[in-house]
Amino acid sequence: QVQLVESGGGLVQPGGSLRLSCAASGGFATITTMAWYRQVVGQSRKWVASITRGGTRKYADSAKGRFTITINNARNTVALQMSALKVEGTAVYYCSAWTPRQYWGQGTQVTVSS
């Protein structure tokens, strides 16, 4: 059983940066891939970026060039560095992991507003 806990959300101005972190416990060694998703109120959850234990990264078009996903296998964490944030980036951001069963964190709110 994998537990995921996100942190780092908050309020940021348009054009600003924010770093999200996700700590995994209870079975990190069984995880094959980790990812970040985001969900706007009233909309479905959407994939943002993913990374394998070996470091292979993939990004949604909306994240390319602005977001960077990294994994620290020694610390059992995955991070999402976000820059040039836009108002439409306001959402709850969720960490996810596959073992291959998919697990979810509780989410962290990111608000992009002036």
- For residues 29-37, give the mean pLDDT: 93
28 vs 41, higher pLDDT: 41
pLDDT for 16 equals 97
User: Using one digit for the tens of pLDDT, what is the confidence trace for 50-77?
Assistant: 999 999 999 999 999 999 999 998 888 9
pLDDT band at residue 34, thresholds of 50, 70 and 90? very high
pLDDT for 74 equals 87
Dihedral over alpha carbons 39, 14, 109, 10 (to 10 degrees): 170
